[in-house]
Structure 1
Amino acid sequence: MKKCIIIILLSYKENMKFLDIDKKLKKYSEIKLSKELLKDLREDLIIKWTYNSNAIEGNTIDMYQTKVLLEDGITIGGKTMKEHLEIINHAEAIKYIEEIVSKNIFLSEYEIKNIHNLVTKGIENIDSGKYRDTQVQIGGANFTPVPPYLVKGKMEELILWYKESNLHPIEKSSILHGEFIKIHPFKDGNGRTARLLLNFELMKSGYPPIIINKEEREIYYKTLDMGSVTGNWEDFTEFIAVKADERIEYMNKFKEEEIKINNMK
């Protein structure tokens, strides 16, 4: 029997928020930034995305150390091999996301396993790229992920929903992230993988990737937990919408400066 993911539709207010965000996204769509600036912005994104996504999970390597490790290959004294691998692996996973987006590769269980394999490569006792075969419990969460024998079926349901969904990209990416966390298909690395999947969907749909900051961990976990318990992803989607709006405004500032520069020529 075909199963489905039950989604509670967003309010009129939230749908209007999407319209406002889309207007900002399209406002300077024809303005092209220089290759040099795009390169700098990409490097900055990889460092901040990698640092924050790992810091949310408890990695103690700071922003500057992340930059040094990724750009210069200098190891950080007093930090574990696991923490080093988490930083290096995440940066590689971002590059893989960029690649599959550029090739217009559709999301599948195969690609999700590939992403998880990159995120956790070389880290012991995780079974990179393989669904878990044991029960897990998320510390502090008010829901329990499905038992291991249901993981495969739940992931198939999630991918089927994803293929058939026509939701706005911000809502779709939010629910994809949330339902993935609710299943928790891997032993470890689920959070980082989920945030990569969220940005995959945004990037595929023409939106810039977002960065969920370490300082936002409380509201991030609170809204994620609420959605996992109730099946209502409205609060979590609203949080992601705010982050998408912030990132678009950030990118638009550079485009506004580009317009000023061109007008002075």
Structure 2
Amino acid sequence: MNLQLINTDLLKNYISLVPLDLNTLIDNLCNKKTALTKDSFDFYTSIASVYSSKIEGEDIELDSYLKHKYLGINYLPDYTKRTDDLAIAYKFASTHPLNKNNLLIVHQLITKNILIEGKRGTIRTSQMFVTDKQGNINYVAADAAIINTEMDKWFSDVTILSAKVLENYEALFYASMLHLTFVDIHPFNDGNGRTGRLIEKWFLADYFGVNAWNIESERYYYENRQQYYTCLNDLGLEYSTLDFSKAIPFTLLLINSLQL
């Protein structure tokens, strides 16, 4: 495959590290429910939305959010609204194909209560960096001058991959790499992490069906968030000098989440 961003040379090493029971894990996932109901879909996307929000520092607890969602317990709007927005974005993605227009809509939904209206679903035009809690720069994202070019490459890879019949391990590998390359480009002013984690399952739904939305990857990433961020940071400090040969540990996190 002539992919523009994803390094397919990593697959050989990746395959050697894939657990022997991977296909059994996938079969269990796909057979979990022959038809995912609206209630069960909402339940799993609620879990995903809570943990993806918590990764970004949101003060939201799963128990409280489920009470809000299913029992009508009222909380202050600031406590639930950004998680509600993310759940709505998951629902939209589950019924629409992964393409540029729909991705921008998903970002609009995710950032409804994060960014001002003019910045939602809009590629950034300014420089971007990521800091830790102490204010130290952890990462310098793609230069604003090359974002559109890099995202064109990213969408080209999505288009090529979506047209291929992939083995289970390949689908998981490419889903992880789409997540990784997206957050490394960091194309938006905010909401990149939430969007990247959603993209991963959005892509997988084409291969594993609707039950791909059952994968509790966001929960796994949250519960192992130090490892999640270490795997991201190990590639390098700046987009222009990232070493994607070090991406394998990140791609294995998604496989690990299948065991939850």
TM range (shorter): 0.7 to 0.9
Query: Which residues of 2 match residues 207-222 of structure 1 at below 5 A?
Result: 208-209=212-213, 210-211=215-216, 212-213=218-219, 214-222=222-230
**Contact 1:223–1:235 (Cα < 8 Å) also in 2:** yes
Could you tell me how far apart the structure 1 residues matched to 2:196 and 2:190 are? 11
Structure 1 unaligned segments of length 5 or more: list them: 248-265
Sort the Cα spacing of 1:13 and 1:146 in 2 relative to 1 into closer, same or farther, 3 A: closer
Q: Deviations over 1:183-233 (max 9, x none)?
A: 100011000100100011112211623222222111111112224632132
> 2:257 matched to 1:243?
yes
1:135 matched to which residue of 2? 127
Q: Which stretch of structure 1 is more off in the superposition, 185-194 or 155-164?
A: 155-164
The alignment partner of 1:10 has SS state of: helix
**Contact 2:29–2:212 (Cα < 8 Å) also in 1:** no
Q: Which amino acid aligns with 1:121?
A: K
Q: Which stretch of structure 1 is more off in the superposition, 172-181 or 145-154?
A: 145-154
Query: Which residues of 2 match residues 2-41 of structure 1 at below 5 A?
Result: 4-5=4-5, 7=7, 8-12=9-13, 14-15=15-16, 17=18, 20-26=21-27, 33=33, 38=37, 41=40
Q: Which has the higher contact order (CA 8 A, sep 6+)?
A: 2
The alignment partner of 2:82 has SS state of: helix
**Contact 1:75–1:84 (Cα < 8 Å) also in 2:** no
The alignment partner of 2:60 has SS state of: coil
Could you tell me how far apart the structure 2 residues matched to 1:124 and 1:74 are? 27
* TM-fit CA distance, 1:18: 6.4
**Contact 2:82–2:113 (Cα < 8 Å) also in 1:** no
1:88 matched to which residue of 2? 84
* TM-fit CA distance, 1:98: 1.4
RMSD: 2.8
Could you tell me how far apart the structure 2 residues matched to 1:155 and 1:18 are? 32
> 2:100 matched to 1:109?
yes
Q: Which amino acid aligns with 1:236?
A: F
Sort the Cα spacing of 1:73 and 1:161 in 2 relative to 1 into closer, same or farther, 3 A: same
1:234 matched to which residue of 2? 248
Could you tell me how far apart the structure 2 residues matched to 1:28 and 1:72 are? 28
Could you tell me how far apart the structure 2 residues matched to 1:27 and 1:124 are? 39
Structure 2 unaligned segments of length 5 or more: list them: 237-241
Give the TM-score taking structure 2 as reference length: 0.79
Could you tell me how far apart the structure 2 residues matched to 1:235 and 1:108 are? 27
The alignment partner of 1:138 has SS state of: strand
The alignment partner of 2:130 has SS state of: coil
One of 110, 119, 138 as aligned partner of 2:110: 119
* TM-fit CA distance, 1:72: 4.3
Q: Which stretch of structure 1 is more off in the superposition, 58-67 or 136-145?
A: 136-145
**Contact 1:130–1:186 (Cα < 8 Å) also in 2:** yes
Could you tell me how far apart the structure 2 residues matched to 1:27 and 1:199 are? 16
**Contact 2:131–2:139 (Cα < 8 Å) also in 1:** no
The count of corresponding residues between Structure 1 and Structure 2 is 235
Sort the Cα spacing of 1:23 and 1:148 in 2 relative to 1 into closer, same or farther, 3 A: same
1:160 matched to which residue of 2? 156
Sort the Cα spacing of 1:152 and 1:18 in 2 relative to 1 into closer, same or farther, 3 A: farther
Sort the Cα spacing of 1:20 and 1:185 in 2 relative to 1 into closer, same or farther, 3 A: same
Could you tell me how far apart the structure 2 residues matched to 1:55 and 1:143 are? 20
Could you tell me how far apart the structure 2 residues matched to 1:18 and 1:5 are? 26
Sort the Cα spacing of 1:28 and 1:52 in 2 relative to 1 into closer, same or farther, 3 A: closer
Give the TM-score taking structure 1 as reference length: 0.77
Q: Which amino acid aligns with 1:139?
A: T
Sort the Cα spacing of 1:108 and 1:12 in 2 relative to 1 into closer, same or farther, 3 A: same
Could you tell me how far apart the structure 1 residues matched to 2:223 and 2:108 are? 27
* TM-fit CA distance, 1:49: 0.8
